[in-house]
Amino acid sequence: MKKIKLLIILLFNFIGAYLSYEWCYRMIIAKHRTPELYYLICYGLCYFCFILISIFLLNKIKRAIDLVICGVPIGIIIPPMPLIVSILVMEDTKKVVFNLDIIMGLLGITSAVTLNFIIYPTILLCCHYSIIAIQKVRSKMALKQE
């Protein structure tokens, strides 16, 4: 069952990543000609974090409303993290390191544009209900075999 849970989590996160990336591609990359490779790397890191957090949350939280309550802030906070880390690591440290205006601006812009604050809780709910449905089908099949 653990492999099935992991497969469901990966499947829904990849679908969510694709939807969110396509939305961002039309809104940002296609209009402003941002280098797509750097954007893909940041986006890959973002959804890698989402997958790890999903595994943890789906094992610890059993109620759907709690998943939504946890998913919305995570969907707002995680998307700009690769950008913030790159600013903190790669830029001149005296200029930008603790400039909260830039960091909060990136947080708001990337969260609003990627719609991950909507997509990520939806991913968690889809995973949650899919896992419950598979467990019910599995238990019914076990009862029929007896």
Average pLDDT for runs of 10 along the chain of length 146: 90 90 72 66 84 93 92 88 69 56 67 82 94 92 81
For residue 80, what pLDDT is reported?
79
For residue 95, what pLDDT is reported?
56
Rounded Cα distance between 69 and 64, Å, is 9
For residue 90, what pLDDT is reported?
61
45 token code pair: 């890191």
- What residue ranges do the domains of the chain occupy? 2-132
The secondary structure of 15-39 as a DSSP string is HHHHHHHHHHIIIIIHHH---HHHH
Rounded Cα distance between 65 and 80, Å, is 25
Whether residue 144 contacts residue 113, with contact meaning beta carbons closer than 8 Å, is answered with no
For residue 37, what pLDDT is reported?
72
For residue 23, what pLDDT is reported?
78
Rounded Cα distance between 97 and 93, Å, is 5
